[in-house]
Structure 1
């Protein structure tokens, strides 16, 4: 398979995943892959040039659009779907502690979780906040 076609397949995958996440992070990488594909189509065999051009495009797009996307999120009252988990109830699947993350199920999703108090399997919890990839939970008293 030609390298330009591989770049286009990679770009397509990145763009599809971007449509699922709506974060703009993968969009710039997808555009960089398209630029690399175009360069390989025009000048075949110039992998270094493709990589440099693709990386430069990604860097420029990231630098110049970061303020724009930040403003877009602020004006549109952008809320990450994970933020909606705060206040929801879940079930402990694996014991949770302060220094040893466990696993909880909230809705139909499973998450790593931390808690200030030890929580055992089967206990009901409420999500109090979230980290980048970890939920912070506490025992539900209701």
Structure 2
């Protein structure tokens, strides 16, 4: 199989995984793979050049878009709804055992959640911390 086809397959896989992760880091690797595919198409025997070009493109995109993303998030009109979730009350949809994930409904959204406490279904909880896609909760009323 041609090398450029393998690079495009890798780019496609990275793009699909990025759609689920929403981090943009895999998107930059995807674009790097596309650049490597182009080099592979033009210079099929230069494998090291393909890897170097793909890596350089991904690295440059990662380094230079980080400040841009921070600027966009800080711009007027941008609203990260996940930040507002801390301190809100929710209901346990799927029981949470310490060290394992459960699910909590906060407002109209359902989140994967962890807790230091064992929490049963339909218990009221408060969000105390938020990661990218996972929240940490405590039983409602414990110190509130």
TM-score above 0.5: yes
Unaligned runs of 5+ in 2: none
Q: What does residue 120 of structure 2 align with?
A: 121
Q: For this pair of structures, how many residues does the alignment match?
A: 136
Q: What does residue 72 of structure 1 align with?
A: 72
Q: How far apart are 1:109 and its partner, in Å?
A: 4.2
SS, match of residue 45 in structure 1: coil
Q: How far apart are 1:38 and its partner, in Å?
A: 0.6
Give the Cα–Cα distance (whole angstroms) in 1 for the partners of residues 13 and 95 of structure 2.
Answer: 34
Give the Cα–Cα distance (whole angstroms) in 2 for the partners of residues 39 and 68 of structure 1.
Answer: 28
The RMSD of aligned alpha carbons is 2.9
Q: What does residue 32 of structure 2 align with?
A: 32
Q: 1:102 to 1:7 in 2, by over 3 A?
A: closer
Which moved further from structure 2: 12-21 or 33-42? 12-21
SS, match of residue 14 in structure 1: helix
TM-score normalised by the chain length of structure 2: 0.72
Q: 1:93 to 1:21 in 2, by over 3 A?
A: closer
Give the Cα–Cα distance (whole angstroms) in 2 for the partners of residues 103 and 56 of structure 1.
Answer: 40
